[in-house]
Every structure is written in structure tokens, then in C-alpha cells.
Amino acid sequence: MIELENDIVKTLKTIYDPEIPVDIFELGLIYEIRINDDRFVDIDMTLTSPNCPVAETLPKEVEDKVKAMDEISDCKVHIVFDPPWDKDMMSEEAKLELGFL
């Protein structure tokens, strides 16, 4: 399952917040990835703000791209705002890209 989770992360790294030139995984928007024995994937993710302009489209893009993976039976994205996202959740790579380091 570790290899499958790594493949999911690779897929997530192809999805970008349109307002920020960093992928959603490096931004720290993905809180948890759960894979059951049937290869159903549950993803807890957040948005940079509750009023994010891509609140309708970004979670669907995540679902669709993960669902399209050959190894996955289905995917459901859950939007959570606890804990609230802040820039400290970004990877060092994302902080460097955005000039925070």
C-alpha cells in the first residue's frame, strides 16, 4: 500500500492551485490519504481559504485524477477546515518557490 500511496501523491503533485504556482501536495492542502483493501481512496484536503475561488472545481479534479488511476477502484474527497490551512503547512520546496525562505 505504501507504493500505491506514493503513486497517489505523484498524481496529486500534477494538480495546481490556479492562483499559486505550486502543486496542492507541496502547498500542504492534502491532510490525509486513506486506502482500504478494495483500493477505495478517501482523501481529506483543505483549501487555502473557505472562500477559495476553486472550491467547487479543485476537489473534483483531485477525485477525477485519482479515480482515473488504474490501481484505484474509486475515490472520495472530503473538504475539511480543521485545522485551518496556513503557510507553515507548505513544504520547504513550496516555501522556497514562493519566496518565503
CA angle, residues 47, 91, 1, in degrees to nearest 5: 85
Burial class (CB in 10 A: 0-12, 13-18, 19+), 54: middle
Domain 2-84, CATH among 3.30.300.130, 3.90.1150.10, 1.10.645.10, 3.40.50.20: 3.30.300.130
Domain ranges of the chain: 2-84
**What is this structure's pTM?**
0.92
76 with 42: CB under 8 angstroms?
A: yes
Cβ–Cβ < 8 Å for 38, 72: no
Confidence label for 52 from pLDDT (cuts 50, 70 and 90): confident
Residue 72 confidence (pLDDT) above 80 = yes
Over residues 9-42, the pLDDT tens digits come to 999 999 998 888 899 999 999 999 999 999 999 9
